[in-house]
Structures are given as structure tokens and as C-alpha cells.
Amino acid sequence: MGSMTLEDVKNETVDLETIPVQEVFAHLKCSKQGLTGTEAQNRLTIFGPNKLEEKTESKLLKFLGFMWNPLSWVMEAAAVMAIGAIPKRMTAIEEIGRHDVLCSDKTGTLTLNKLTVDKTLIEEYGKGIDKDTVLLYAARASRVENQDAIDTCIVGMLADAKEARAGIQEVHFLPFNPVEKRTAITYIDGKGDWHRISKGAPEQIIELCRMPKEAEKRVHGLIDQYADRGLRSLGVSYQAVPAKNKDSPGEPWQFVGLLPLFDPPRHDDAETIRRALPLGVNVKMITGDQLAIGKETARRLGMGTNMYPSTTLLGDKSTEMSGLPIDELIEKADGFAGVFPEHKYEIVKRLQDRKHICGMTGDGVNDAPALKKADIGIAVDDATDAARSASDIVLTEPGLSVIVSAVLPSRAIFQRMKNYTIYAVSITIRIVLGFMLVALLWKFDFAPFMVLVIAILNDGTIMTISKDRVKPSPTPDSWKLKEIFATGVVLGTYMALITVLFFYLAHDTEFFPETFGVRSIRENEKEMMAALYLQVSIISQALIFVTRSRSWSFVERPGALLVIAFFVAQLLATCIAVYANWEFCKMQGIGWGWGLSIWAFTVTAFTNKNDYGKVEREAQWATAQRTLHGLNQGSSNSDMYTDNNGYRELSEIAEQAAKRAEVARLRELHTLKGHVESVVKLKGLDIETINQSYTV
């Protein structure tokens, strides 16, 4: 161990958890008081200055984000806030719907963080020590103000909270920190004698006391028994301080006792996790508790129990554990136990290397690097200011239900943004290309003022898209820029060619007089201006119904507000084209005959299929229903959401997690009734309709 260097620590080739604390200080050339100036400079040379890792953000996606209407952003942000989450970064709303892995703390997020102590299970050690003494010592090593959950629980077990400081004078209190994982108090009793008590993680207390092997083995056996029942352990130790100095090392520590702590799972998190898996979100438990506790909690929450200790995270990508490379093991695991903050960072980093969109919850200062590294850093409701600063979303309510409940609304928001982006690309190409071809082929100059009128009416209508009815993707979606721009170019070019065709038919042929019985306007430039304006206005705004649909135009029922806004705007545009006689823009009204003819021509241009593709839609619906009921699972063409083909491999991970969770639950069921209900649930049947079909 003497050959260990700071470079070994940097490269994570050693596990400091397996080394006694005093030896760690010696090897790292530091003390509890900190570093000397020379050693601090040496650290800066090796590790560099401390800073949170910055998120890599696509400038193009950021630009596309700012194209989205700010008013709609505010409205949708308010909608997310209404369910209990405050987004600090606007793109985080979109990323909630895209993430496929959610790494969650156990304490306070998956559990209630309302600890209780079963006094009958307290184990005492040493002569003259009873259960009440162990409890009193633990209370003295707790804060009586600004308490955390453990301190609140311990002090609350006393008949009166004032007993924790009754008859003693506090000299020094060592608060909990994630490295030493214990608290300590130095105090003076009524006789003037000095004492010191420490409570914390059993491993740290055992190491502090340097217990004999037999006694240590007995304590570890009891800890394992607690863990198998889902109980956390809290060690308590005592020492006398005859030197009467707070810095004195004191006499040897004595192990006093072990307290079992129970932190019940949240009543709603089991249902939340069950809802998350079909959405393609795989929830992984990240806990600092023992592996057995993590597995028991996971079983109670309906999660898989394929969990590993944090020691498996040490090593490079080629290292294997359980026959799997570390990266693949992290991807397929249901959680990790005994983790430190640096392990959280490593988990996030390796999941991102596997192309996952990763969310991470945290509450403390040491969680900040992992929160900053994650695609979605989530600060829980009681997080510190540092964790809130490093996060992207701050929860205002405890538990995971807030995040999972926000997934579908976020995907709906993302779908609206995607629809608008395709529309923005299409309309730009359509206007530029259409007017350019008309100007080049016929030397016809469209009035700039009328372009402004089109833009104003368009903006008024497009604002209502924030409340449009959309069908969110059932799986995580992402920006597919090639697809978006390709779709925009195709639609924009098609619309531009329709405008050119319209101008040709109205300007050079008798198509409209012969077909609709209207008078010819071939020789009247002012009326041609009005006719072209109306056609461009209708086709430009109607384009939004095309971009929002996964099939042909008007297939999916739009929101009522969008439809009303469209017809109001186009009624105004039609009245302008029919009645306006504006000399300043060389436009003259064309009458209702031409107005209705242009409407018929433009609407017909949106489809070349009978009944707007009714047959294809019915066939698609039938195929989707067969897939939904498991009758057509092998067909890749049955996917209604064909833009998510690339996600299928990732969704398998969530499906495997669901299967592991069910297998873990089945192992704990020993009754026929339990087996029947579990199988019924796994197959998606209605338990209420068959409750009378079997007896137990």
C-alpha cells in the first residue's frame, strides 16, 4: 500500500473505501484540517481546478429552440410547473420526454425518509449497557436543531427531546459528511468528566473501535440480518476523554450498540415505476445503503433485484463482472448499492457513452458533479442550494411521480416543437422558391406588403399550436434533423410547385373559367395579385395541418383552438382578396366566385387520394390494434410510430427490467392466489373480471 500515489487515485486504480481512514489521510498527505499550501498546489497540478462539467449543447438545436414561439414556451413551462417541477433550463422540458434511463436515490425519493426504530430489535454491547442507554447515546450524537431524518428519528424516540442534552455541556459536534459517514459529540457531564460519542455507518464505527474479529463477525452477521429485512443499521460507540481537550484522541473507542432503522417505500412509487417501464424509462436505484437493503426495497417497489455493489464500478471498460463488461453491466443493472457521489458520476458517464439519455436525482453538495453531467439533473424537493444550482429541474414535491407524470406532457410539447420546426422549414422554402419561380418565369412582382399581411395572419394562427391536440410518442423521441429538413424541403417544394401551377392555370389558361365558371382575370394584373395572395395565404396556413399529422393532411383531429384560429384568419384573408381595392399594393378584389374556386383548388392540392387516404388509415389502425393485442408482434411494418425505429433496441432494456421485476416478485409469492394474480397482471388481463374464476 506504500506505493500508492495521487496518480493512482486520479486513475481510480485503488479503492479508498477498503483502506482505514487514518491510512487514507497518510497516503493522500492531508489531515482532517485540510491541505498545506504545497500539497494544494500539487493537487492543482495533477487534477486541475475544481469545476463542474459543462453540458455539450448543439448550437443548431439551440437555434431551433429559439425559433419556437416564446409565448408557447411560457405556457408549456407553466403546465410542467403545475405538476410539481420547476425547469431551470427550457430544453429540459423536451429532455424529460427523451430520457430513457432515470437513476434515482433511494432515501427520500423511492422511500419516505421517515425513519423509525424498532426498540425491541436494538442490540447492545458491553457491560452496563441496555437498550435505553444505546438510544440515549445515539440521541446525544445527534443534532437537536436543523436535524436530518436520522437525527429526527433518534431524538424522537426519547420521552422528551430535551433529554438529548440534559445534564451535559456540549463542547464540540462533528457533523455528518459523506466521507467519514458518522457524527460525533464531545461533551462534559455533571461531574466535570469529558466524554465522546459517535454514531454512523456500522462499518465506520467498527473500524473506529478496532473490534476483535469474533465480535466484528457477530456484528456483521446482525447487520446482514437487518439488511435482509430491509432495515438499515446505525452503529453507536463511546470513549472517555481524560485529557479534557476536544482535540485529544481519548481512550480506545468502545462499541456500544446497533440500532435498526426502517425507511418505508413510498406508497405511490411502485405504481410510478410500473407506469415508467411501458414509457421506455428504465428506473435504476442508486443507494449508499447495503446491497441487501437495496434489493429488499427494490422488491417492495416492484423493481428488478439485479443490483450490484459499488465496487463493480472500479476498473476500465474491458473489466468484466458476472461475465459482462462493466459498461454493459451498468446498462442492464437495476441499481447499485454502497455508492459514493463519485460513483454516481461514473454511472452517468458510462450510460451516456452507451448513447442513453440519462436523468439523475440528487440532494447534496457532493451530488453536484453527477447532476451537472447528467442530461437531466433533478434536484429533489429538499435538496441543498448547490444541488439545485447544478440541476436542470427542481422538484417541488417528493417522489418520482412528478418526473414520470411529466414524461407524456413533455413528449407532447416536444411533438409540437417538432411540428412547428417542420412547418418553419417548409414555409420558408415554399415562400422563397414559389415567389422566385413566379418572378423569374412571368416577371410578376408580388407586393411586399401582402407578404407582411400573410406573415401577421400566420403568426396569429401558429401561436395556437401550443394548445394543439397531439399524439405523444409512446417511447423516447429525439431530434432527427435529417428527417426534419428532408420533410421540410419536400413539403416546401411541393407547396411552391402548387403555387406555380396555380399561377400558370390562372394566368396562361382558361382552366378556372371552364372548370368553375368564373370570369377570366388573365389580363388583369391587380386581380392576379389578389388571387395569388389568397392562394398563398390558404396553402401557407393549411400547411400546419400537414406537418402536425403523421399521415396525410386532416387525418388526425387537430385542436379546436387551432381550427378556429385558422378559419378566422382565412376568412379575413378571403375578404381581403374578394373586396380589397388597394392601389398602393396594386391589388383589386376578385369576387366570391374566384375566392371559392381558389379554396377548392388549394384544398384539393393537399391530397391525391380518395377520401383523404381513408382506406390506408383504416388498414393502419387495424394493424396497430393487432400489434397492441400481441397478434402481430413480428411485423416491423405494424409500428404506428415509424419514426422511433431506432429506439427499439433501447426499449428492450426497459422491457427486460419489467420482466426482472416480475420474476423477483414471483419469488416472494408462495400462495396460489399470488401466482394467479401475478400471471394475470403480467399478461395485461383484467383481474376484476376473473376474480370469481378461481378459489384459493
Bridge partners of residue 111, in order along the sequence:
265
Q: Is the pLDDT of residue 417 over 70?
A: yes
Domain spans of the chain? Answer: 6-47, 59-113+266-405, 116-262, 415-608
| Higher pLDDT, residue 510 or 656 | 510
**Residue 619: its pLDDT value, please?**
52
For 616-630, the pLDDT digits (tens) are 444 554 555 444 444
Q: Do 406 and 80 form a contact (C-beta atoms < 8 A)? A: yes
**236, 137 in Cβ contact below 8 A?**
yes
Best CA proximity match to 302, nearest among 327, 265, 331? 265
pLDDT for the residue numbered 694: 36
Question: Which three cell numbers, joined as nine digits, stand for 267?
Answer: 406508497
Q: What pLDDT does 73 receive?
A: 54
- What lies within 8 Å, CB to CB, of 610 at 6+ separation is none
Highest mean pLDDT among 62-71, 364-373, 438-447, 634-643: 438-447
If pLDDT is split at 50, 70 and 90, which confidence band does 187 have?
very high
User: Residues 506-532: pLDDT tens digits?
Assistant: 888 888 888 888 888 888 888 888 899
Query: What pLDDT sits at residue 515?
Result: 86
Distance (Å, rounded) from C-alpha 530 to C-alpha 588?
6
Task: Give the model confidence (pLDDT) of 659-679 as tens digits.
Answer: 666 665 555 555 445 555 555
415-608: CATH number: 1.20.1110.10
pLDDT of residue 510: 87
pLDDT (average), residues 316-342: 75
Backbone angles phi, psi at 395, to 5 degrees: -80, 140
500 versus 80: the higher-pLDDT residue is 500
Q: Give the model's confidence band at 488: pLDDT under 50 very low, under 70 low, under 90 confident, else very high.
A: confident
Residue 498 and residue 599 in contact, taking contact as beta carbons nearer than 8 Å: no
- Given a contact cutoff of 8 angstroms between Cβ atoms, the answer to whether 77 and 87 are in contact is yes
Identify the three-state secondary structure at position 235.
strand
In angstroms, rounded to a whole number, what is the distance separating the alpha carbons of residues 32 and 25?
A: 8
Among 369, 334, 387, 400, smallest CA distance to 96 is for 400
Report which of 153, 114, 335 is spatially closest to residue 234, judged by C-alpha positions. 153
Q: Is the pLDDT of residue 24 over 80?
A: no
pLDDT of residue 443: 86
- In sequence order, the β-bridge partners of residue 194 are 188
116-262 CATH: 3.40.1110.10
Given a cut of 90, is residue 258 above it in pLDDT? Answer: yes
327 is catalytic: no
Dihedral sign computed on CA atoms, order 463, 467, 472, 478 = positive
Residues 6+ apart with CB under 8 A from 598: 502, 531, 534, 535, 538, 577
- pLDDT given at position 19: 67
pLDDT-based confidence at residue 687 (cuts at 50, 70, 90): very low
pLDDT at residue number 61? 56
Instruction: Write the CB contacts of 287 (distance below 8 Å, at least 6 apart in sequence).
Output: 105, 106, 107, 293, 294, 297, 335, 336, 337, 338, 339
Q: Is the pLDDT of residue 609 over 80?
A: no
Average pLDDT rounded to a whole number, residues 183-204: 92
Strand order in the sheet with 282-286: 85-87, 393-395, 376-379, 358-362, 101-105, 282-286, 335-337, 307-309
Q: How many other C-beta atoms are found inside a 10 Å radius of the C-beta of residue 306?
A: 20
For the stretch 236-274, what's the b/e string if a residue is b when 16 or more beta carbons lie within 10 angstroms of its beta carbon? bbbbebeeeeeeeebeebbbbbbbbbbbebbeebbebbb
- The answer to whether the CB of 383 falls within 8 A of the CB of 364 is yes
Q: How much is the pLDDT for 553?
A: 53
- How confident is the model over 108-152, as pLDDT tens digits? 788 887 888 888 889 998 888 899 999 999 999 998 887 788 888
How far is residue 264's CA from residue 116's CA, in Å, rounded to a whole number?
9
Tell me if 448 sits within 8 A of 431, measured CB to CB. Answer: no
Tell me the sheet residues that pair with 185.
173, 197
Q: In this structure, are residues 190 and 168 in contact, taking their beta carbons and an 8 Å threshold?
A: yes
Distances (CA, A) of 668 to 238, 300, 395, 546: 40, 10, 33, 52
Is pLDDT of 245 > 80?
Answer: yes
> Does residue 529 or residue 44 have the better pLDDT?
529
Q: What is the CA radius of gyration of the chain?
A: 34
pLDDT value at position 424?
Answer: 86
Residue 255 bridge partners (DSSP): 237
CA distance 327 to 313: 9
User: How high is the pLDDT of residue 551?
Assistant: 60
Catalytic residue (choose from 8, 15, 100, 105): 105
Q: What is the pLDDT of residues 6-23, one digit of tens each?
A: 666 666 666 666 666 667
Same fold, 59-113+266-405 and 415-608: no
Higher-confidence position of 55 and 462: 462
Residue 83: predicted pLDDT: 57
Q: State the average pLDDT for the chain.
A: 77
3.40.190.10, 3.40.50.1000, 1.10.760.10, 3.50.50.60: CATH of 59-113+266-405: 3.40.50.1000
